[in-house]
Amino acid sequence: MDLIKTIEEQQKKENAECFRVGDTVKVHFEIIEGKTKRIQLYEGVVLCIKGEGARRTFTVRKESYGVGVERVFPVNSPRIIKVELIRPGKVRRSKIYYVRDKIGKAAKIKELIGPKANARVAFAREVAKAADVREAQINAEHKAAAKK
């Protein structure tokens, strides 16, 4: 078991999780199509965070043309460029699956306001700045491949 734990520790990202359940986030996800790479954005509310260690995942839900769409992302995936915190949410549960049944304004999550929220947003922006370099590199490669 110690061998598995050491391998998982090597695969973990530092400061990978700068968000909580209920937050509205933008996930910058790397898509590989043939030989080209591009970054796709997925913006929505974090419904749940599951697992532990290197196997930790989070579920993001968004409304797309009136239909609820959910996607599960591994926290420590090398394809996730960055997770940008848009709006910190105020929830009292660790899993907010009840949002699935809500429609319209009832599905909104209250925004967390105050000094704690400001500190969380500032920390998330610092983490996102470090990932901006890698994102710019991937975008440059995509533009170069598109010109060919």
pLDDT tens by residue, 20-74: 899 999 999 989 888 888 889 999 999 999 988 788 899 999 988 988 899 999 9
Mean pLDDT across the chain, nearest whole number?
Answer: 86
Please give the share of the chain, as a percent, with pLDDT higher than 70: 97
Give the whole-angstrom CA distance, residue 87 versus residue 90: 10
